[in-house]
A and B are shown apart, each in its own frame.
Chain A
Amino acid sequence: VILFIDDEPRYIKNFVEDLELTLVGHGDIRVVDRVDEALSLIARLNERGSLPELIILDIMMAPYNSFTTEETNGGIRTGLALFDKIKHVCPILIFTNVGDASVKKTFEDQGCLYVKKPDVLPHEFSALVRNILKEHRGGKK
């Protein structure tokens, strides 16, 4: 499973569709637009022993009931709070509009790949994800 966590699915639609066409037969792609749903889905997948291979995570999202407003700085850093909770699940790719260098560094310091949405086109994004998966799957073997 490749899991997108993004509260504006409309704007990642092309990235998802391109990835689906690129990875036909090589993985199930799921999109959730709420952090609480993301957490419960991960828990369910964990119970089934089928944790995602890759999580593609947005940063600016509403916290719902999973985090306090303060923890997410009014929703601006929800992805950061969520990352702390799920970083041991699988590799995480940050996919966001946030261009703040300090935020980027925070993720990169933890070995996380950080991609700004305006910097990449759908087919480039698919190639990137494919490489990550190849590396991950190769590492597992």
Chain B
Amino acid sequence: LKVARSSSEQTLLERITSTGLEAPDRKTAFKQLTSLGRDLLNSQACMLTFVDTSLKRVLRLATASTDAFVERALSDRSFQMDSGGDGINSNVVTSGKILKLVDLTSDGQGVCRSNQARKYHLHSLLAYPLRLQDQVLGYFNHFSKRGDFNRGEEKIIALLGRQTLLVIQKFERDSLSRLNRLLAETTEASGEDDLLASALDGALEMLGVARGWVALLDPKTKIVNITKHHRGNLPRQVSLTMAQGITGRCVQSGKPIRAHDVRSKEWNGVYEAFWPDTLSELAAPIVVENALVRIGTTLDRKPKPLGVINAESSDIGTFLPFDERCLVTVARHVANILERLEGDRKVTALTDIQRRIVGKARWDDVISTLSTSISDTLGYDYVNVSLVNHVTNSIKVEHVVGLPMGKAEDFKASAFHLLDSSDIQADIVRTGNVEVPVLDDVRFDPDLIKVFGLDRIVRVFLPLRAGPARPPLGTVSAGYQTGYTPYIYERDINILKQLTDYAAAALERRLRISLDHVVHEIRAPVVGIRSNVSFLRQRWKRLPELKIARKLEDLGVDCDILEFQARQIEYAFAGGESRSYEFAPVFVYRDVIIKTLSQLLPLFADKKIRPNQFHWAFVNPHKLELWTDRLALSQVIYNLLMNSLKYCGDPSTFFLEVSNSETPDRIALHFADYGIGIPAGLEEMVFEEGFRAPNAVRVSTGSGIGLALARRIARDLGGELSLRHNAEPTAFELSLPKKHVVRGVM
């Protein structure tokens, strides 16, 4: 008998320990265990319940009964703890003790209502706690028609309970293994789409469900669009606001949401049904925990919401707290990778912007490229670049992006502040701080804020300077509407700072290069004059007369060049304002063209260009008299001739022709030379201040302001300077209005 009993116990043990572990999923395993319990215990119903302490609910994970009606009635329900009615007494279910209730029909002790017990013949309950470490995960419940339980039943239910724990742990290990694989596979993701697709597939496999989505928050619209990455045949286009549906609420709260039964009162009015048979849902926010943000001038840590990852099931209570923890891990991981990808994207964009800035010759173009890049590439809604004017001791808006149509010019006209004022930009110039002021900071001009709708824009202010030791050239502020987040993240500020520092260095470099060239062009003739004077003084008596004459001629030429250079600076630093011109009758050929060319002939001679390499093709050079400014017109001619000289190429093949023509209302002077030419495509750019064609840079130094100034002066004189042919010959046309003709038109 002993052997027989021992053999039957062995068989029983084998049946229990082989159940559930090979099941394809957790739900099937639980069903197998309750079915086995029902059979072994001859139970009216065996039920596996799960105690969800975080949500204060008890879930019926699986039920098996000999009576199909009872089984259906007891399946698929979850109960709120401590809520009366169907509620479950939390003290009872979290006690961790074996429950033995012998008469449920009179007192369910908060586990089962008495009328329900009577209806389903659930006379007594033996419940074995599923304890893992000090936590009660749930109970293995055996409902009996009888009033009491024997030791055999207690032993079997204990074995079933322990096996249930093993099954739970086995499926948790499987999930962790899938989680690890998912993390490893997505860590090196190279793109957002790949990352989201892999994360979603991995998460759904880990959770053992087939439908779900991953969606990112659009920071501009605050909309979560979930159409792009989903699994399970999403029946329609889906976009949610930040508070809409379980998904939207998850993004808004920044916390995971586990809905055991979306039909329950709790989700009434919240849940948005996209799949009609969904009963439970799990959503985890894709959020960067503890992202560094700047508040004022100090740093703090705040969450940064990016999106949501979601899984759905057609069963009730599919998702347990363990699943939630796993999905939260996936979501955090996705958030970190997204941040990395975004960082990489912005760094790449930064390099691209820097490359564009390098290509900009003009100061205005650098500022314009900087502000539009901050808006278009770095994604800020609002950008303001303001520059310091040391002459007026003020700071003024130079470029603004993000104001309503037509308001930018008004804003630029209004936003002017003295550097010693209490204005925020003046303060940034003084302190050099990088700062995100609160919206109602007293340093904001309340009128400007109100009129231009800046009251809901959170902004970062940075000094525009090439380095910590350099004086600020101005400030940059960038920001966005506060609806999405009230913070500006430090990582974004760092990228912005790198960009503004780079732009400031580029601006300084332009100033420096321009200054170096201008200084060089002034110093060169000064050195010539001084060295000629010194040479003559030292060696006068021993020098032949011809030599002395040449030295004196050089002195005269250098003085002329110096005068031209001085006037060049005068025009260049007029800052766009017209110099005051002195109009008088001028013989254009005699007093301007021929005179200027004569002054420069020694320079051409230095390059071994002989007078027979010049050709005059105009008629009656002494007769055309225009009402103009002689010195200004001479400056235009000087700049054109100096260009011909500098870029003459091979002196032996150089040729310069000056001619004229006439239209009904204009006189045109033509300067055509056979020098190195202007590359095709750069015909207009050569007139931009600071721009120098690559072939010009290669063969001569220069400031790149000669042609720009020549055109500006020509226009100031009522005329126009244009390039008619870019090479072989390089032909410029200077046209002047005929109404200025005093006499002597051809």
Contact = CB atoms under 8 A, between A and B. Distances in A.
B699 interface: yes
19 contacts: A10-B528, A10-B554, A10-B606, A11-B527, A14-B532, A14-B535, A18-B535, A62-B698, A62-B700, A64-B698, A69-B698, A75-B697, A75-B701, A97-B519, A97-B523, A118-B526, A118-B527, A121-B530, A123-B534
Contacts of B551: 14
A15 to B, nearest CB: 6
Given A14-B532, A60-B520, A76-B513, A97 B697 contact: no
A13 interface: yes
A11 B531 contact: yes
A11 B528 contact: yes
Contact of A121 (B516, B528, B534, B700): B534
Interface string B549-593: 001001000000000000000000000000000000000000000
Contacts of A8: 524
B697 A62 contact: yes
Given A18-B538, A74-B513, A97-B519, A7 B701 contact: yes
A14 B532 CA distance: 6
A21 B539 contact: yes
A73 B513 CA distance: 9
Interface in B681-724: 692, 694, 697-702
B516 A122 contact: no
Contacts of A10: 528, 554, 603, 606
Interface of B: 513, 516-517, 519-520, 523-528, 530-532, 534-535, 538-539, 551, 554, 603, 606, 692, 694, 697-702
A52 interface: no
Contact of B534 (A76, A117, A122): A122
A73 to B, nearest CB: 7
Interface size class of A (residues with CB under 8 A): 20 to 34
Contacts of B532: 14
A117 B523 contact: yes
A40 interface: no
A97 B701 contact: no
B518 to A, nearest CB: 11
Nearest to A67: B698
Interface string A1-33: 000000111111111011001000000000000
* The 10 residue pairs across chains A and B that have the minimum distance between CB atoms: A14-B531, A121-B534, A97-B523, A14-B535, A75-B701, A117-B527, A11-B528, A62-B700, A11-B524, A10-B606
Nearest to B551: A14
A95 B535 CA distance: 18
A64 B603 CA distance: 20
A124 to B, nearest CB: 8
Highest count of chain B CB atoms <10 Å: which of A14, A61, A122: A14
A61 B516 CA distance: 12
Contact of A122 (B517, B531, B603): B531
B524 A122 contact: no
Contacts of B535: 14, 17-18, 122
Nearest to A18: B535
A7 to B, nearest CB: 7
A12 B692 CA distance: 26
Contacts of A12: 531
Interface string A68-102: 01000111100000000000000000000111100
A69 B697 contact: yes
Contacts of A11: 524-525, 527-528, 531
Interface of A: 7-15, 17-18, 21, 60-65, 69, 73-76, 97-100, 117-118, 121-123
Nearest to B646: A62
Contacts of B694: 69
Contacts of B700: 7, 62, 75
B580 to A, nearest CB: 31
Given A98-B516, A118-B527, A118-B530, A74 B692 contact: yes
A98 B532 CA distance: 20
Contacts of A62: 697-701
A131 B698 CA distance: 35
Contact of A76 (B528, B554, B701): B701
Contacts of B530: 118, 121
B534 A14 contact: yes
B120 to A, nearest CB: 86
A64 B524 contact: no
Contacts of B513: 73-74, 76
Contacts of A14: 528, 531-532, 534-535, 551
A61 B524 CA distance: 13
Contacts of A118: 523, 526-527, 530
A74 B525 contact: no
B697 A74 contact: yes
A137 to B, nearest CB: 25
B702 to A, nearest CB: 8
B72 to A, nearest CB: 80
Nearest to B542: A21
A9 B519 CA distance: 18
A17 B528 CA distance: 13
Nearest to A17: B535
Contacts of B698: 62-65, 69
Contacts of A99: 519
A36 B734 CA distance: 36
A99 B519 CA distance: 9
Given A76-B516, A100-B516, 4 more contacts: A97-B519, A98-B516, A118-B530, A122-B531
Nearest to B550: A13
Nearest to B358: A70
Contacts of A60: 516-517, 520, 701
Contacts of B525: 11
B693 to A, nearest CB: 11
Nearest to B603: A10
Given A11-B531, A97-B527, A123 B697 contact: no
A98 B531 contact: no
Contact of B524 (A65, A75, A97, A123): A97
Highest count of chain B CB atoms <10 Å: which of A18, A63, A74: A74
A65 B531 CA distance: 31
Contacts of A76: 513, 516-517, 701
Contacts of B523: 97, 117-118
B646 to A, nearest CB: 9
Highest count of chain A CB atoms <10 Å: which of B524, B531, B606: B531
Contacts of A123: 534, 538
B488 to A, nearest CB: 35
A97 to B, nearest CB: 4
A65 B697 CA distance: 11
A139 B534 CA distance: 32
B237 to A, nearest CB: 51
A8 B531 CA distance: 14
Nearest to A117: B527
Contacts of A17: 535
A73 B506 CA distance: 12
Contacts of A122: 531, 534-535, 538
Given A8-B524, A60-B701, A75-B697, A15 B519 contact: no
B538 A9 contact: no
A123 B534 CA distance: 8
Contacts of A18: 535, 538-539
Contacts of B692: 74
Contacts of A21: 539
B520 to A, nearest CB: 5
A9 B605 CA distance: 12
Contacts of B699: 62, 64
B554 A13 contact: yes
A141 to B, nearest CB: 31
Contacts of B528: 10-11, 13-14
B26 to A, nearest CB: 64
B21 to A, nearest CB: 68
